[in-house]
Amino acid sequence: MKKKNNVLSWIGTGIFTVLGIIYIMPILIVLMNSFKKKVYINKMPFQLPTDKTMAGIENYITAIDKYELLDAVGWTVFITVGSVFVILICTSMCAWYITRINTKFTKTLYLLCVFSMVVPFQMVMFTLALVADRTGLRTPWGIIIIYLGFGAGLAVFMFCGFVKSIPLEIEEAAMIDGCSPLRTFFSVVLPIMKPTYISVGILETMWIWNDFLLPYLVLDLNKYKTISIAIQYMKGSYGRVDMGAIMAALILAVIPVIIFYLSCQKHIIKGVAAGAVKG
């Protein structure tokens, strides 16, 4: 039986190793082509760069200087950090209120948050773009409010599950010591919710950083562009595409989120389990 389990374990390891290689190959191909001259990217996309095909960091310089990629990175960082911060604070406080105040209103509010996760974005995107235009939300500051609306469903669901596992006696003790509700939340509840904060923060960051459709519909593209939109605008007229610059831009866009994910991945399962299983 032990030998059989070892064989199955080796088979499983082999299968998942192959799947891992399949998943990582596109990123490696993009990385490899980002150092090639654009003439050879279409001709020899799967070959390693040689002295003849090597372009060095020329593609990266073109992407940064010619296409103003650094401006796009700045706006993407601002929108991502601002949106994630607002989502975490507002949804965690909302989840705490929903869990501790048991009324028909809070139950309805919770159901609406959960229901929002199953509504396809395509159903509301045109109406959303019209409302954003009329209310002056076509800015990096305004889109943060929109991301709060779309990101609240999952965040409230996970935070509610975790708050149910927090003993109510801890909060009651803080209130007896003279803490106001806000101070109780920020001094007692929020530190306990750290695993779910990290997990929700990772998921929301990866979503907002890579999002293309919502910024494309909402932002004033003459003034503000995110990384995904800037890469799309690298395609010139008459179908002309600077593949070298695009490959370099893709690597510059992917590296930060990969580093962020790898540095925080151990917290994802902890947070998901704490927020969706307990209680």
Whole-prediction pTM value?
A: 0.83
Q: Which residues pair with 54 in a beta bridge?
A: 36
Pick the CATH number of 61-276 from 3.10.20.600, 2.60.120.380, 3.40.50.970, 1.10.3720.10: 1.10.3720.10
Low-confidence residues in the chain, pLDDT < 70:
1-5, 236-240, 267-279
Q: Give the pLDDT confidence of 142-194 residue by residue, as tens digits.
A: 999 999 988 888 899 989 888 888 888 888 888 888 888 888 888 888 888 88
Q: Over the Cα atoms of the chain, what is R_g?
A: 23
d(CA 6, CA 72): 50
Q: Give the C-alpha distances (Å, rounded to integers) separating 26 from 19, 20, 21, 206, 251.
A: 12, 11, 9, 18, 11
Q: Give the C-alpha distances (Å, rounded to integers) separating 246 from 31, 157, 193, 226, 232.
A: 11, 38, 40, 14, 9
Q: Give the pLDDT confidence of 138-152 residue by residue, as tens digits.
A: 899 999 999 998 888
Task: Using alpha carbons, select from 12, 8, 62 the residue that is nearest to residue 35.
Answer: 62
Domain map of the chain by residue range? 2-49, 61-276
